[in-house]
Amino acid sequence: MVVALFYAFLVGGPLAYGQLTPTFYDETCPYVISIIRGVIAETLILDPRIGASLIRLHFHDCFVNGCDGSILLDKTATIDTEKEAFANNNSARGFDVVDIMKERLEGVCPGTVSCADILVIAAEESVVLAGGPWWPIPLGRRDSLTANRTAANAFIPGPRDTLERLRSRFTVVGLNNNTDLVALSGAHTFGRAQCRTFIDRLYNFNSTGLPDPTLDTTYLATLQQLCPQGGNGTVLADLDPTTPDGFDNNYFSNLQANKGLLQSDQELFSTPGADDIIELVDIFSTDETAFFESFVESMIRMGNLSPLTGTEGEIRLNCRAVNADLAGKDSVLVSSV
């Protein structure tokens, strides 16, 4: 009920944010959400990280020219793929799972569901399957015809960002730099991060030759054992050491205990003078409902950043390539509407 009220307040009607509406596929592909949910559920059996990986794809897509599926495009002679941007290279994952979703949807309702909408639905369903909130998903996005690696390098938040830098990155894409920032950072309540993304905090923070002083000393020792100097930088650590695969508010309690894994996490609680941000961390740590409500509101707002609708873009038949590049291949090219 609360989530529904938040949704009504945000969108104010079915045509808010252009032409996006939760009922967009009711007639043309009524089982779209259940199909995507099924693929995620199957994958979670062997890959408990996949939910966090899918929501990360959605985040990184929306921070680059809006939520248009551009992150899914492979490199070609004319496309400089976002997959090779700093924040995504050897890090972003789940593309093969999106391929499975798209293949199944094409088998049921060909040329109908955009890759951009697949990412939005996959993010919401990943949260639900991990025990988080449900919300009506505004749908009807179309897919971009190109990617933008330069913008990906410029706009996607990074694990070493200061709070000032994080605020700037959120503001420039059209999100607010307090509630949206803190609520969406709460997605780090599940998933993993590679040692290379935080190892400087363990041994040589800001070139001091010392660990990050905001790290809890016991947690520091645990991380140093997992990530020794000169060790394998791809070893994984839980973003939330308390409940690593559940979507809850423990992320914020971890920050209060100086157990934020990434610098960009701990900055939310340990930056002097950031009273508005610290207050939100305190609220969300004690009131999971407040976190869920704010998270839903911020996810809807992020999902509606500069969507392509109507006749803009296209409905890709393969999420990795624009339709023009599929011409001449073995599969029949179905024109998108």
Cβ distance 71 to 84 under 8 Å?
A: no
Q: Is 240 a known ligand-binding residue?
A: yes
- Sign (positive/negative) of CA torsion 336, 67, 84, 241? negative
Give which of 169, 32, 181 is closest to 114, Cα–Cα: 32
**What residue ranges define each of the domains in the chain, with the CATH number in brackets?**
31-191+239-323 (1.10.520.10)
pLDDT, position 99: 98
* Residue 140 backbone class (left: φ over 0; alpha: ψ -120 to 50; beta: rest): left
Of 60, 169, 201, 259, the catalytic one is: 60
Residue 61 assigned ligand-binding role: yes
Ligand-binding site membership of 117 (annotated): no
Of 198, 274, 302, 300, the closest CA to residue 241 belongs to 198
307 assigned to a ligand binding site: no
Residue 227 — φ and ψ, nearest 5°?
A: -125, 75
188 known member of a binding site: yes
H or E stretch at 170: helix 163-173
The CA distances from residue 194 to 87, 163, 188, 199, 253, in Å, are 12, 21, 13, 9, 22
Weakly modelled stretches of the chain, pLDDT under 50: 1-17, 330-337
The Cα 252–Cα 288 span in angstroms is 10
pLDDT recorded at residue 67: 98
Buried b (16+ CB within 10 A) or exposed e, 125-141: bbbbebebbebbbbbbb
60 is catalytic: yes
Question: Strands 192-194, 236-238: parallel, antiparallel or unpaired by DSSP?
Answer: antiparallel
Residue at 133: amino acid letter: P
Q: How far apart are CA 2 and CA 226, in angstroms?
A: 41
134-137 — which CB contacts under 8 Å span 24+ positions? 134/3, 135/3, 135/6, 135/7, 135/296, 135/299, 135/300, 136/4, 136/7, 136/22, 137/22, 137/33, 137/303
Q: Per residue in 136-177, pLDDT tens?
A: 999 999 999 999 999 999 999 999 999 999 999 999 999 999
